[in-house]
Amino acid sequence: MRVILLLSICGFLFASRAMVAQDYLNRDSLWQVFASSKPDSNRVKLFIQLGQQYETNNPDSALLLYEQALKLSEQLNYTHGIISYYTNATYVYNLKGRYDTSLVLNLKSVEIAQALGDPERLGACLGNTGASYMSLKDYEKAIEYFLQTIDIYEKLGDRNKQSTIHRNLAVVYRETGQYKKAREYGERALAFAREENNIFSITGSLINLSTVYSTMGQWDKSIALLNEARGLAIQSNNDYSILIIALNLNDAYNRAGRFDATKAFCEEALALAKKLDDRESLAIALRGLGMHYFNTGDADKAEGFARQSLEQASKYDFTEDIGQAYSLLAEISILKKEFKQNIFYSFKSDSVRNVLLNESIARNIQELEAKYESEKKEQQINDLKQEAEIKDLSIRQNRLLNFILVGSLVSVFIIALLARRAYQQKKKILERDNSLNQSRIAELEKEKQLMASEAVIKGQDEERGRLAKDLHDGLGGLLSGVKFSLTNMKSNVILDADSALVFERSLDMLDHSISELRRVAHNMMPEVLVKFGLSEALKSYCASLSESQLFKIDFQSIGMETRFSSNTEIFIYRIVQELLNNAAKHAKATQVLVQLARQNDEISITVEDDGVGFDKASIKKATGAGWANIQSRIEYLKGKLDVQSTAGKGTSVHITIPIS
């Protein structure tokens, strides 16, 4: 999966910037023109054009040329040249993986472009900013900026830029699990690029669309797109694109089970990673070679390359790649029947996964805290403004009162009326402010509770997923290795009849343990939910319960063909699972109906049984976590719950959940 992530980042590296009009002249010709140029705006354009010639193969030289363009533009007060610096320099910073630096520069360029009032420049700056947010995995912000950019380029009729932004949106939707939208945007991006016959844009669109098909498991389509992109990248001498394509072809052939084809791509990626000094790609290419030899049965070579990958990843602190290397070494140790080494490497791999999980949790907590503090400060500012307004009003009233007191007796009556009116106005203001404060406090408390519930529920589901994977891949692999070893031992050891019977029973018990382990892992995070979606996962779960002969389940799914976000699918799955568990434990039912239906922008969930029923008031008094978890998940999804139950007449639970 790491290689596919590299392609997601690569998705915006081909055209997400404002390009100075040029014909991609020969580099030597540009230098000849530059030598005779004057220090004016044309020289700025030459600096930019020269930088673009160097950026894919020598990015540091490109940055130096862009810095010169900025310096001269500032001297000339040439705003277009300043914006060109930002859009082109951020492109190179993205190539080098310095996304924080790129974001700061892009936000500054948006301010300048807005002041300039040039829609084409503004579109490029907004697109680059969205790309930076995408690289930093802030997908909500990325979509916001990309949609603004699409509106601008549709009005301008710029197909090249539309191709780029559609390609970036395809990346965002793929990363958020919305594969249908990702494919639609990816295909539109490729169509725009082919219309313009832009070799760089076509290459980027092909690579990006291939990642969508790869994620969807359509390996042949992914490989065909990558091979077309490879021919174009070689034609345009784009070493970075060739490197990424080689890594992803290796990944695609691996997943398709065509291991003989992977070696050449890994070796090509290794050579290019060394040439471009791409340290992380070097670690990935070494690991790819290790995986090739593992899949082809050469354990010693596989171990050698896996250790080189581990050394490279450890040297530059690439945490995820360190974990992948340890995971590969654990699999190799099983192939070599070194089970103690397998335990050691598996422990190391699990430790890295825990580090990554803890970092992710800490990052989410920091974001929530920052959001809370920002809103808190904003409220304090509003409170101070209101207080200042009240004080200012009070001062004006006192001045007016002093003036009236100096007047005649007739003015006394007027003063009394004004004072009363002022008092009532002040009272209304105070009451209004108090009402607003109470309302805001209630909103903050509710938001805090929702965030806490969300964090707990997400943490539970992520931990279930992690434990399921660890049980299946770690302990499951170890037990399979033990079974393999015992089976081989059986053929090499002479046993008497009783010992042979005990040995066979032990193997049967081991088989039962492996099956039970897989069942537990499946219940914690069903693989069918991740691969095929909510409807298929619940259908499979209901079928398994029916086979257990607890009760018969009639499962119905209407209009559920479209996938939802991973959080929504997991939460609904857990809700139905908990309701069926309650029915199994308490209802004493013989028939259960489970129905999922999508109508317009709403999902309807119904779970009914013909069991003994219960008193609805007991839900509020329940001490278990079951109903609490159900209600928390429904509240997080902004849904509604209706429970109907009568003693001896069964139970009906109806849930409606809005979807966007």
- pLDDT of 22 > 50? The answer is no
- Cα-Cα-Cα-Cα dihedral sign, residues 609, 612, 613, 618: negative
Band of residue 12 on the pLDDT scale cut at 50, 70, 90: very low
Arithmetic mean of pLDDT, 620-628: 70
Higher pLDDT, 238 or 2: 238
**Segment among 18-27, 436-445, 466-475 with least mean pLDDT:** 18-27
Q: Determine the pLDDT at residue 94.
A: 79
Which of 274-283, 451-460, 506-515, 583-592 shows the lowest per-residue confidence on average (mean pLDDT)? Answer: 451-460
Per-residue confidence band for 357, with pLDDT thresholds at 50, 70 and 90: low
The structural domains of the chain, with segments of one domain joined by +, span: 2-257, 258-336, 347-525, 531-658
Mean pLDDT of the chain: 79
Residue 13: is its pLDDT beyond 60? no
pLDDT class of 71 with cuts at 50, 70, 90 = very high
**Residue 659 corresponds to which tokens in the numbers above?**
């979807």
CA-to-CA distance for 62 and 50, rounded, in angstroms?
Answer: 7
The verdict on domain 258-336 having CATH code 2.60.120 is no
The region of weakest confidence among 105-119, 211-225, 489-503 is 489-503
pLDDT at 295: 92
Question: Which token pair is 219?
Answer: 């390996």
The pLDDT value recorded for residue 141 is 92
Per-residue model confidence (pLDDT) at position 437 = 66
CA distance 329 to 649: 58
**Distance from C-alpha of 12 to C-alpha of 174, rounded to nearest angstrom:** 14
Residue 7 CA to residue 479 CA, distance in Å, equals 35
pLDDT of 24-64, one tens digit each?
446 778 888 888 888 898 898 988 888 888 887 788 888 99
Lowest-pLDDT range of 6-20, 118-132, 168-182, 561-575: 6-20
CATH architecture of 2-257: Alpha Horseshoe (1.25)
What the block records as the tokens of 355 is 């580090």
pLDDT band at 595 (very low <50, low <70, confident <90, very high): very high
615 pLDDT tier (thresholds 50, 70, 90): confident
pLDDT greater at residue 262 or residue 375: 262
Q: Which residues on adjacent β-strands are paired with residue 607?
A: 594, 653
Please indicate whether residue 485 or residue 13 has the higher confidence score (pLDDT).
Answer: 485
Instruction: Place domain 531-658 in its CATH homologous superfamily.
Output: Histidine kinase-like ATPase, C-terminal domain (3.30.565.10)
pLDDT tens for 136-173 read 889 899 999 999 999 999 999 988 889 989 998 998 99
Cα–Cα nearest to 461, from 578, 539, 544: 578
Band of pLDDT at residue 488, cut at 50, 70 and 90:
low
Strands (E), 125-203: none
Instruction: pLDDT band for 9, please (50, 70, 90 cuts).
Output: very low
Q: In angstroms, rounded to a whole number, what is the distance separating the alpha carbons of residues 556 and 610?
A: 17
- Same topology for domains 2-257 and 531-658, yes or no? no
Single-letter residue type at 461: D
Categorize the per-residue pLDDT at 420 as very low, low, confident or very high, splitting at 50, 70 and 90.
confident
Answer with the residue of higher pLDDT: 134 or 366: 134
Q: Please tell me whether the overall predicted TM-score, pTM, comes out greater than 0.85 for this model.
A: no
10 pLDDT higher than 90: no
The Cα-based distances of 652 to 228, 598, 641 in angstroms read 55, 19, 11
Q: Which segment, 85-99, 210-224, 389-403, 482-496, is predicted with the most confidence on average?
A: 210-224
Digit-coded pLDDT (tens) for 84-128: 888 888 888 877 778 888 889 889 888 888 888 888 888 888 988
Residue 229: pLDDT over 60:
yes
Measured between alpha carbons, how far is 590 from 490 in angstroms, rounded to an integer? 47
Q: Is 140:176 a contact under the CB 8 Å cutoff?
A: no
**What DSSP assignment string belongs to 409-472?**
HHHHHHHHHHHHHHHHHHHHHHHHHHHHHHHHHHHHHHHHHHHHHHHHHHHHHHHHHHHHHIII
Q: What is the pLDDT of residues 566-584, one digit of tens each?
A: 888 888 888 898 888 888 8
**pLDDT of amino acid 274:** 92
pLDDT band at 399 (very low <50, low <70, confident <90, very high): low
CB 317 within 8 A of CB 302: no
What's residue 223's pLDDT? 93
pLDDT at residue 655 is higher than 90: yes
Q: Tokens 């590296």 identify what position?
A: 13
CB neighbour class for 301 (10 Å; exposed up to 12, middle 13-18, buried from 19): middle
Closest CA to 53 of 34, 36, 32, 28: 28
- State mean pLDDT over 359-376: 52
- pLDDT value of position 37: 87
pLDDT band at 482 (very low <50, low <70, confident <90, very high): low
